[in-house]
Amino acid sequence: MVQVDVFWSYAIGAGCGAAAARETLREPTRELLTDRRLTATVLFLGCVFAPSGIWLLWSFPGWETMHAADTHTDLPGWLVAAFAITNITQGVLGYVVAQTLWRRGHHYLAWLQMPLGYLAMFFVLAYGWDGTGYRRFFAATTEDWQSGRFDPVGFLSSDVALTLYAMGVVLVPLLVWMKASWWARGLRTVGVPGPGPARIAGLVLLAVFGLGLGTAVAAAVLLTLLGPGFGVAAVTVLVVAVMHPRSVGGLLARPFLAGSDAALNPVPRYGLTVDA
C-alpha cells in the first residue's frame, strides 16, 4: 500500500545492505555507485518491487491507498510519481544506513534496521492512522470499506489477494535468496562456520514475520486497549524490550552476527562517495 511502501522499501534495502556488509567491506575501497550488491538491490527495487506497487495502485486504487482515494482521478500525478520514486530511494537509503552502521562497528544496529523497517510497515497495516488499519487492509474494495463489512476470509479469494499471491511467488523467494546468499558468503569470507543459506532464509523470514509482524500486532493491540496516552508509553517499552540486544532481537540476530568483530580487522574503509 502507498502508506507502507516507504517502510517496506527501507527494510528491503537495509536487509540487503547488512547482508552484503562483510563482503563489501573486505573489497578494495570503492565508490558507492560501483558496489555491485547495491546495483543488484536497486535492480530488484526498480524492476520487481516498484512495478508491483504501481500495478496494485493502478488496478486497485482504493485498496492500495487504504481507501483514502476511491479512483485514479483522486490521485494527483505528483503523488503517484513520488510513490514510484520512494519505492527505490528509500531502499537505497536503507542499504547505505545499514552499511554505514556496520562499517562503524554497530553490527547489531545495522542488522536491526530490517526488522525495524518491517515493524513500522506492519504497524501501519495493523493500526493505520486511526486504529482501523487491519480493517482497511481486509476490505478489497472501497465499497466493502464504506459498508462496514469485515470479512477477512472473503478477502483471501478477492482479486486483490490473488494478485498479491502471484506477486509474492516472484518477489519473496528472490529477495530472501539474495539476502540469504549474501549473509552465507559473508560468513564464509571471515571463516565463520555459520548457518547455510537455507537456514539463514528461515531466520530472515522469522525476523520479518516473527519479530517485525509480531511486535507490530502487539503494539496495535496495546494502543487500541490503552488509548493514545498510556498506549504510546506501553508500545515504547515493548519495542525497546523486544529489540534490545539482550532480548529476543539479539537472540535472533546472533547467527547473522557470528564473528562480526573479526570481519573488521583487515578491512579497508568503504568510501561512500559518488562521482560528480
Q: What would the mean pLDDT of 162-168 be, rounded to a whole number?
A: 97
The stretch 184-202 carries a mean pLDDT of: 83
In a 3-state reduction of DSSP, which class is residue 244?
Answer: coil
Q: Is the confidence at residue 206, as pLDDT, over 90?
A: yes
Does 61 or 270 have the greater pLDDT score?
61
Percent of residues, the chain, with pLDDT higher than 90: 80
End-to-end CA distance of the chain: give it in Å, rounded: 35
- Count H helices and E strands in the chain, helices first: 13, 0
- Enter the pTM of the model: 0.91
- The answer to whether residue 274 is domain-embedded is no
User: Could you give the number of structural domains in the chain?
Assistant: 1
Within-domain flag for 17: yes
The pLDDT of residue 8 is above 90: yes
Can you give the residue range of the structural domain that contains 160?
2-264
Query: What cell numbers appear for 94 in the block?
Result: 536503507
Please report, rounded to a whole number, the percentage of residues in the chain having pLDDT higher than 70: 92
Is the pLDDT assigned to residue 265 strictly greater than 50?
Answer: no
pLDDT at 135 over 50: yes
pLDDT mean across residues, the chain: 90
216 in Cβ contact with 123 (< 8 Å) = yes
Q: What is the pLDDT of residues 15-47, one digit of tens each?
A: 999 999 998 887 766 677 788 999 999 999 999
Considering the domain boundaries, does residue 269 fall inside one? no
Supply the pLDDT for residue 276. Answer: 28
How far apart CA 252 and CA 262 sit, in angstroms, is 20
Residue 250 in domain: yes
Residue partners of 146: CB distance under 8 A and separation at least 6:
67
Does 192 fall in a domain?
A: yes
pLDDT at position 269: 37
273 falls within a domain: no
pLDDT for residue 149: 86
**Residues 207/14, Cβ–Cβ less than 8 Å:** no
DSSP 210: I
178 contacts: CB under 8 Å, gap ≥ 6:
16, 19, 40, 41, 44
The reported pLDDT for the residue numbered 30 is: 63
What pLDDT is attached to residue 133? 95
Residue pLDDT, tens place only, 11-23? 999 999 999 999 8
**Is position 271 within any domain?**
no
125 in a structural domain: yes
